[in-house]
């Protein structure tokens, strides 16, 4: 049985409705976005057309997936507005051809209503000013009464969001595709809890975990490098790419710990200004690689001015950048404790919705690993692995300051780690 992520069912439901909005599949690299849309289109090949901006000229998927190659196609070689306009028109042509065939015999068992043809464009953010072009084409279809589902996929969340907010406001719905969680890696690849904590949630690397050196090279070369060099450096035009890479590596080494921007500067030879580091840390967070959590406070300005607590979005990033093997990581009690805490932080980061915020808290020697907030709701979370001996009185002190807060201990004496990682952040807020 082939494992399918829940977002695929959400996508199918939306594509089964009448066309109202552009559907956005947004998320980091290698979490299954492309597989998802191809699976959906392959279920009814004649009703879908998929193109990718990432494909080299001549390798674009130029069939309707039913085997009818369009040998006469001569799309523009440069991936620009003309390229996008060309393929959009090709999708319209294929939809018209398909609908013509449906007039003769419409199957009563059809999965989609008659009008639902699907046009999918992968890595859309790599076309300059793509959102303006899409807006014009989409609005033109609406004016002409053309009913074609459009699905846009992108692996650079920051640029996707920028384009959407600038030109496509009111025209789209987003399906967020996050890093894989424990339950998914268990169901799809039979991961143990310990394997998930160390090897993280990248499905493409799951088959390599028995060859750790090979697994580590794959994560570094096929996941980390493209994320940084293609999704951030090339597209955002970073002035100092080496500084960005050093900041990411530092974050992987210090995941689960607080580290001030000033100390980051001391640790990075290339660093000069805290403002630059703060901007780069924000880019890494938007790319779903590394977060700098703010300290929880009632006043927003105090949150922004706090020392950030670093946390990776996927513990595979942390493990791949360290020298510890799986066995060595488990044997080092202190390091394994940080890895467990980072796994909890990554889970919360990946399952927080737009209305739920994630912080940490400290008051002198008292601290809480994570604080979830949504409106007036608060939830303080402390992670206690067998490797950690730190007192947990921070939870009680926090609740003393914020009586409305719910408190959760994860691990020994509290909610089992596997159970906690099987529920979303919103579930724990109640």
The domain boundary residue, chosen from 176, 211, 226: 176
199 and 127 in a single domain? The answer is: no
- Residue 158: the pLDDT is 60
CA 50 – CA 122 distance, rounded (Å)? 8
Residue-wise pLDDT for 305-340, tens only, equals 678 999 999 999 999 999 899 999 999 999 999 999
The domain boundary residue, chosen from 158, 176, 194: 176
169 and 236 in a single domain? The answer is: no
140 and 259 in a single domain? The answer is: no
Residue 1 lies in a domain: no
- Residue 163: the pLDDT is 66
**226 φ, ψ to 5°?**
-65, -35
- Residue 415: the pLDDT is 94
**362 φ, ψ to 5°?**
-150, 140
122 and 267 in a single domain? The answer is: no
17 and 164 in a single domain? The answer is: yes
The SS3 of residue 304 is helix
**130 φ, ψ to 5°?**
-60, -35
What 8-state DSSP symbol labels residue 294? Answer: P
Residue 148 lies in a domain: yes
Angle among Cα 198, 201, 207 to the nearest 5 degrees reads 85
To which H or E segment does residue 362 belong? Answer: strand 357-363
19-28, 179-188, 391-400: which range is least confident on average?
391-400
189 and 169 in a single domain? The answer is: no
Scored b (16 or more CB within 10 A) or e, 7-33 reads: bbebbbebbeeebebbbbbbbbbbbbb
CA 191 – CA 185 distance, rounded (Å)? 6
135 and 171 Cβ atoms separated by less than 8 Å: yes
311 and 344 in a single domain? The answer is: yes
pLDDT-derived band at 428 (thresholds 50, 70, 90) equals very high
The SS3 of residue 285 is helix
Alpha carbons within 13 angstroms on the beta-carbon side of residue 355 total 7
pLDDT-derived band at 1 (thresholds 50, 70, 90) equals low
Percent of the chain whose predicted confidence (pLDDT) is above 70: 84
Residue 142 lies in a domain: yes
The DSSP code sequence of 33-95 is: HHHHHHHHHHTSGGGEEEEETTSPTT-S--B-SSS-B-TT----SS-SHHHHHHHHHHHHHHH
Residue 23 lies in a domain: yes
172 and 186 in a single domain? The answer is: no
User: Does residue 214 have a pLDDT over 80?
Assistant: yes
Alpha carbons within 13 angstroms on the beta-carbon side of residue 144 total 10
> Which of 267, 316, 328, 261 lies closest to 289 in space, CA to CA?
316
User: Does residue 65 have a pLDDT over 50?
Assistant: no
Residues across the chain? 430
Provide the number of structural domains found in the chain.
2
Handedness of CA 134, 288, 424, 308 (dihedral sign): negative
pTM: 0.86
φ/ψ bin of 255: left (φ > 0), alpha (ψ from -120 to 50), beta (otherwise): beta
CA 25 – CA 36 distance, rounded (Å)? 9
Residue 323 lies in a domain: yes
164 and 300 in a single domain? The answer is: no
Task: State the residue for tokens 């000069």.
Answer: 272
Residue 126 lies in a domain: yes
Residue 24 lies in a domain: yes
171 and 188 in a single domain? The answer is: no
CA 82 – CA 86 distance, rounded (Å)? 6
420 and 400 in a single domain? The answer is: yes
Residue-wise pLDDT for 137-189, tens only, equals 999 999 999 889 999 998 766 666 666 777 888 899 989 899 999 999 999 99
- For residues 216-231, average pLDDT: 90
154 and 16 in a single domain? The answer is: yes
The domain boundary residue, chosen from 176, 208, 232: 176
φ/ψ bin of 240: left (φ > 0), alpha (ψ from -120 to 50), beta (otherwise): beta
Residue 63 lies in a domain: yes
Query: Which CATH number does the domain housing residue 54 bear?
Result: 3.40.50.300
To which H or E segment does residue 165 belong? Answer: helix 157-167
Range of 216's domain?
182-429
């Amino acid at each position: 049985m082939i494992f399918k992520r829940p977002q695929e069912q959400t996508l199918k439901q939306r594509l089964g409705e009448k066309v109202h909005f552009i559907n956005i599949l947004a998320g980091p690299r290698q979490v299954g976005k492309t597989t998802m849309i191809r699976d959906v289109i392959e279920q009814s090949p004649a009703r879908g057309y998929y193109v990718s901006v990432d494909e080299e000229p001549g390798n674009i998927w130029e069939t309707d997936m039913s085997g009818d190659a369009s040998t006469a196609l001569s799309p523009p070689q440069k991936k620009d507005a003309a390229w996008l306009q060309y393929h959009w028109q090709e999708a319209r042509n294929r939809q018209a051809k398909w609908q013509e065939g449906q007039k003769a015999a419409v199957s009563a068992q059809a999965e989609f209503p008659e009008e639902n043809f699907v046009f999918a464009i992968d890595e859309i953010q790599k076309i300059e000013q793509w959102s303006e072009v899409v807006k014009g084409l989409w609005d033109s279809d609406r004016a002409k009464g053309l009913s074609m589902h459009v699905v846009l996929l992108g692996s650079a969340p920051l640029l996707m969001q920028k384009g959407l907010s600038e030109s496509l406001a009111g025209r789209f719905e987003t399906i967020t595709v996050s890093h894989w969680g424990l339950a998914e890696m268990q169901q799809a690849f039979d991961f143990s809890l310990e394997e998930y904590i160390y090897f993280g949630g990248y499905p493409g690397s799951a088959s390599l975990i028995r060859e750790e050196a090979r697994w580590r090279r794959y994560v570094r070369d096929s996941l980390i490098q493209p994320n940084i060099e293609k999704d951030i450096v090339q597209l955002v035009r970073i002035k100092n790419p080496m500084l960005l890479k050093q900041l990411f590596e530092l974050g992987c080494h210090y995941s689960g710990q607080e580290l001030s921007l000033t100390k980051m500067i001391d640790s990075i030879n290339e660093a000069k200004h805290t403002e630059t580091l703060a901007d780069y840390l924000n880019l890494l967070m938007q790319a779903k690689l590394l977060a700098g959590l703010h300290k929880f406070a009632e006043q927003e300005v105090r949150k922004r001015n706090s020392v950030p607590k670093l946390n990776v979005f996927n513990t595979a990033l942390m493990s791949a950048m360290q020298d510890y093997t799986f066995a060595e990581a488990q044997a080092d009690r202190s390091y394994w404790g940080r890895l467990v805490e980072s796994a909890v932080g990554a889970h919360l980061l990946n399952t927080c919705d737009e209305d739920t915020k994630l912080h940490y808290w400290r008051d002198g020697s008292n601290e809480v690993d994570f604080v979830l907030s949504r409106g007036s709701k608060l939830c303080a979370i402390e992670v206690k692995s067998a490797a950690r001996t730190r007192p947990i009185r921070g939870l009680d002190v926090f609740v003393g300051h914020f009586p409305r807060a719910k408190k959760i201990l994860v691990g020994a004496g509290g909610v089992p780690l596997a159970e906690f990682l099987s529920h979303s952040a919103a579930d724990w807020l109640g």
